[in-house]
Amino acid sequence: MSVQTEAMKTGTSTVGITFDGGVIVGADHRATMGNFIANKNVKKLFKISGRIALTTAGLVGHAQSLARMLAAELSLYELKRNTPMTVRGAATLTANILVGRPHYVQLLIVGVDETGSSVYSIDSAGGSIPDLYCATGSGSPFMYGVLEDQFSPEMSESQATALAAKALLASAQRDSASGNGMDLAVITMENGYRQLTDDELEKVLSSL
């Protein structure tokens, strides 16, 4: 496998953080090919159901294919059973897909259901690990430095949003494969998935 393919596989920063009542999820915009910045506005954060999101680190084609597949599967599940799939169920489904056909990706399945807020890290071979917060991609070491210092299970939505933005800023400043802005979304039982507008994101960043 070439160095270029390895760089395309791993260069990214994504984050998921639980808080009391919901989850914050985010990702940067940069796509790289080795040392070359191939694109400055790549989508790495996907809504796959009303209260579940997917973040992707890895090959863009694999990531986009998985996002489409998962959105369709979760929609079919809800239509057939008249109830949404749980976050754990979505994580298990994703892991099973990757076991059968490995992709060059590292994923987060993030969302809320009747059991509470959840963040699952899914590796390329189908491993699924739940946690209170998680970061993926080449920028993750820099994000973990921020997350492990400042995360608290009792955080409010605004505190968790600020922490996610701060973690993504840290990766953008130190990881050459991350940056060019970010997407952030909040997921709650009451309001479902809602991505922050540009004005809301600017307000969060200016407060840091």
| Nearest of 32, 62, 177, 65 to residue 124 by alpha carbon | 62
Percent of the chain with pLDDT strictly greater than 70: 93
Residue-wise pLDDT for 129-174, tens only, equals 999 999 998 899 999 999 999 999 999 999 999 999 999 999 988 7
> Known catalytic residue: 197?
no
Instruction: Tell me which amino acid residue 160 is.
Output: A
* Angular region, 105: left φ>0, alpha ψ -120 to 50, beta rest: beta
* Domains, the chain, ordered by start: 3-207 (3.60.20.10)
Confidence of residue 3 (pLDDT cuts 50, 70, 90): very low
* CB of 133 closer than 8 Å to CB of 120: no
Report the pLDDT value the prediction gives residue 6, as an integer from 0 to 100.
39
pLDDT at 9: 45
Catalytic residue among 10, 12, 14, 136: 12
Residue 31 has pLDDT above 90, yes or no: no
Q: pLDDT tens digit string along 77-115?
A: 999 999 999 999 999 999 998 886 767 778 999 999 999
